[in-house]
Structure 1
Amino acid sequence: MEAKYKGIDVSKWQGDINWEKVRASGVEFAMLRAGFGRCQGQNDTSFERNYREAKKNGILVGAYHYSYAKTVSDAEKEAEYFLSLISGKSFEFPVAFDIEDNSQKNLSREEISNIVEAFCGRTEKAGYFVSVYANLWWLNNKISDRVKERYDIWLAQWADTPSYGGKYGMWQYTSSGKTGGITGNTDMDLAFKDYPNIMRANGLNGFSKGAAESTDNVKSGAFPPRRSVALCNTPLFSSAYSKAPSARKSGTYYIYDGIEINGRYRITSSASFALKKPIGKNVTGFVNADDIR
């Protein structure tokens, strides 16, 4: 399979991340730990900052929850807690259920599968695209085929080439990667699906349905949000797919969200408007990437 995006997954254990440097190192997406367990106070203390700063620097994001659930009831409570942590946010990548804790290892395959289904079912019902994170041993020994066929899989196998025989959308291939902006080792990932298009086209993970005019050619761009753009009689388009410009603009504008759609970027008239909703109120229009100076 050919990787479409390269990324990392992080939590509070990576400390205060310099997301500008992460972006400059070529990272395109980040899976952020939102929390663990089912009780208030088990939020990842870096989640809010990581979400804000990753988005600010044009990095596509997903979120994950580390599970300690031993029963279906525990899993349902974990799902409710996770949903409270991610409420009001938008994720271009999946929200994932991380099941791997040693305290769960003695549970049967059926018990583990029921736990996964309980968490994922509740989260999916709330409008999210859910993935299941597990390592090779767990996938082969603890998770049923019905679960692996039903849900997207985020495979953890630290190897040059994965040996897992099933389907998967993401692969965590090392825990000892290095990237700018993070001190120490980092989990590194590859994504093989065009998740941002899936979310926008289907109105999942906090996006309204059809948030992009088309499901083609949407990617994390080279220009981060709030970057200044000098325009000089530059063609301005009303959408990413308009054939003719609606106007021409001169002066200083700013990249709105850092997302490249069909070779164009949204711009806004003030850096303070970048990433603000609603889009229609805060975006001036689209300009071609080739016209950005």
Structure 2
Amino acid sequence: MEVKGIDVSYAQGVIDWKKVKASGIGFAIIRACFGWDNDKQIDRYFKQNVAGAQAAGVPFGLYHYSYATTPEEAVKEAKFFLRVIAGLKPTYPVVFDLEDPSQQKLGKANLTAIAKAFLSTVQEAGYYAMLYTNLDWIRNRLDMSQLSSYDIWLAQWSSKPSYTGHFGMWQYTSSGSVSGIGTRVDMDIAYQDYSGIIKGAGLNGWKAEEEPPIVGPTVDEKYEILSKEYDKLAEKYERLKKELGGVLERYL
């Protein structure tokens, strides 16, 4: 499957989500926050974008932009992110955006540990955790073998992705145009039924769908059912006995 989507932040300004929905966009990933220090680091259009997407019926996920330089800071970021998104029930992944130039020279081991620290904290809180990063970071700055248990959102602006590893979403351009958005916008494709996966597993605030209990008849109800069956069989027996008796009289 392929679902066309967008990811947005304050940079897109005020969005007409009804027009976005009508244009064929099937999901949006909305920036919630960055860093970890205080509420000034909540995206200023976060609440407005979530409310607009919900009202228009656009399924959404949420992302946090990282500036962490140690695993400890990544945990702080994760806890801040969880506080900001508390009470929401996104049907698309919650995402750790790891790509800032200030982090590039931290080394593969440290960057991998940072990603694991954030993602594991979010996952343990009951969310579908995903890593967003670009092809250069995947190839040169992260040990992907240590991150194989997490879904990947690949940023590679091209006509088709060249990464051969697994990824559930692909950001293919930063220069998209969508009705209802007055600026250029990142465009994405999702390859999985995230709503079904997340709801079915009871993640992101959703409760797992439970099969209704099978309730059998009570003892009294069983007795009544068996009594009726017995009466039917008795009537059938009497009827067959009479028919058989008539047949025998004709031949004797």
Specify the TM-score bucket, using the shorter chain as the normaliser.
0.7 to 0.9
Name the CA distance, whole Å, in 2 between partners of 1:211 and 1:49: 33
Which residue pairs with 1:199 in the alignment? 198
Name the CA distance, whole Å, in 1 between partners of 2:100 and 2:77: 14
One-letter amino acid matched to 1:174: T
Name the CA distance, whole Å, in 1 between partners of 2:148 and 2:115: 13
Helix, strand or coil at the partner of 2:148: helix
Q: Residues 66 and 98 of structure 2 are in contact (CA less than 8 Å); yes or no, is this contact kept in structure 1? A: yes
> Any residues of structure 2 matched to 1:51-62 within 5 Å, and which?
51-62=50-61
Which residue pairs with 1:110 in the alignment? 109
Using the TM superposition, give the Cα deviation of residue 39 of structure 1 relative to its aligned residue in structure 2, in angstroms: 1.0
One-letter amino acid matched to 1:25: S
One-letter amino acid matched to 1:31: I
Which residue pairs with 1:36 in the alignment? 34
Using the TM superposition, give the Cα deviation of residue 116 of structure 1 relative to its aligned residue in structure 2, in angstroms: 0.3
> Any residues of structure 2 matched to 1:250-269 within 5 Å, and which?
none
Greater helix fraction, Structure 1 or Structure 2 = 2
Cα distance change of structure 1 residues 64 and 147 upon mapping to structure 2, 3 Å threshold: farther
One-letter amino acid matched to 1:71: T
Name the CA distance, whole Å, in 1 between partners of 2:210 and 2:145: 32
Using the TM superposition, give the Cα deviation of residue 47 of structure 1 relative to its aligned residue in structure 2, in angstroms: 0.6
> Any residues of structure 2 matched to 1:135-146 within 5 Å, and which?
135-146=134-145
Name the CA distance, whole Å, in 2 between partners of 1:190 and 1:158: 12
Deviations 1:36-93 (A, max 9, x none): 0111120001011100110111100000000000001100000000001100000110
Q: Residues 128 and 204 of structure 2 are in contact (CA less than 8 Å); yes or no, is this contact kept in structure 1? A: yes
Q: Residues 11 and 33 of structure 1 are in contact (CA less than 8 Å); yes or no, is this contact kept in structure 2? A: yes
Greater strand fraction, Structure 1 or Structure 2 = 1
One-letter amino acid matched to 2:156: Q
Name the CA distance, whole Å, in 2 between partners of 1:80 and 1:125: 11
Which residue pairs with 1:271 in the alignment? none
Name the CA distance, whole Å, in 2 between partners of 1:160 and 1:6: 15
Task: Give the unaligned 5+ runs of structure 1.
Answer: 214-293
1:19 to 2:17 alignment: yes
Name the CA distance, whole Å, in 2 between partners of 1:192 and 1:173: 13
Q: Residues 116 and 147 of structure 2 are in contact (CA less than 8 Å); yes or no, is this contact kept in structure 1? A: no
Name the CA distance, whole Å, in 2 between partners of 1:48 and 1:211: 31
Cα distance change of structure 1 residues 204 and 211 upon mapping to structure 2, 3 Å threshold: farther
Helix, strand or coil at the partner of 1:64: strand
Name the CA distance, whole Å, in 1 between partners of 2:42 and 2:128: 21
Q: Residues 17 and 180 of structure 2 are in contact (CA less than 8 Å); yes or no, is this contact kept in structure 1? A: yes
RMSD: 1.3
Q: Residues 201 and 212 of structure 1 are in contact (CA less than 8 Å); yes or no, is this contact kept in structure 2? A: no
Cα distance change of structure 1 residues 122 and 186 upon mapping to structure 2, 3 Å threshold: same
Which residue pairs with 1:168 in the alignment? 167
TM-score by length of 2: 0.82
Identical columns (%): 46
Which residue pairs with 1:179 in the alignment? 178
> Any residues of structure 2 matched to 1:1-293 within 5 Å, and which?
2-3=1-2, 5-40=3-38, 41-210=40-209
Using the TM superposition, give the Cα deviation of residue 145 of structure 1 relative to its aligned residue in structure 2, in angstroms: 2.3
Deviations 1:152-197 (A, max 9, x none): 0000000001001210000000000100000121100000011000
Using the TM superposition, give the Cα deviation of residue 148 of structure 1 relative to its aligned residue in structure 2, in angstroms: 3.5
Greater relative contact order (CA < 8 Å, ≥ 6 in sequence): 2
Using the TM superposition, give the Cα deviation of residue 147 of structure 1 relative to its aligned residue in structure 2, in angstroms: 3.4
Q: Residues 201 and 211 of structure 1 are in contact (CA less than 8 Å); yes or no, is this contact kept in structure 2? A: no
Using the TM superposition, give the Cα deviation of residue 211 of structure 1 relative to its aligned residue in structure 2, in angstroms: 7.7
One-letter amino acid matched to 2:4: K
One-letter amino acid matched to 1:26: G
Structure whose alpha-carbon radius of gyration is higher: 2
Structure 1's consecutive aligned runs of 4 or more residues displaced over 2 angstroms after TM superposition are: 145-148
Cα distance change of structure 1 residues 150 and 25 upon mapping to structure 2, 3 Å threshold: same
